[in-house]
Amino acid sequence: MNDTTTVGTTTVDTSPQAIRAWLTDRVAYYLERSPADLDEGAQLAEMGLDSVFALTLCGDVEDRFGLVVEPTMAWDHPTIDAITAYLAAELAG
């Protein structure tokens, strides 16, 4: 299994661990919290991620991984762990 993808001229690590770390960093940035303070299995909405940041996260995912995702991604996959699994599966396929 190849755990990288090329977006433009950049090679991106697409292993589940790298996806999870990147997502955790992005969500922590939006919530103005430390990544270490986040529970990756907690509901994003319950942590305080609002619809504006959820939509922005979709754009970040598209830019980072070269995937087109639905604007409802954060609601359809409501935790960092769930988004990680979704993205890993999409990138593997």
pLDDT digits (tens, 9 = 90+) for 73-91: 999 999 999 999 999 999 9
Euclidean distance between CA atoms 72 and 88, whole angstroms: 17
- Let me know how long the chain is: 93
Q: pLDDT (tens digit, 9 = 90+) per residue, 41-75?
A: 999 999 999 999 999 999 999 999 999 999 999 99
* pLDDT at 6 (0 to 100): 60
Domain residue extents for the chain: 4-92
The answer, yes or no, to whether residue 3 has pLDDT greater than 80, is: no
Strands, E, within the chain: which ranges? 4-7, 10-13
* pLDDT at 2 (0 to 100): 58
Confidence of residue 14 (pLDDT cuts 50, 70, 90): confident
Which CATH number is 4-92's, of 1.10.10.10, 1.20.1560.10, 1.10.1200.10, 1.20.1050.10? Answer: 1.10.1200.10
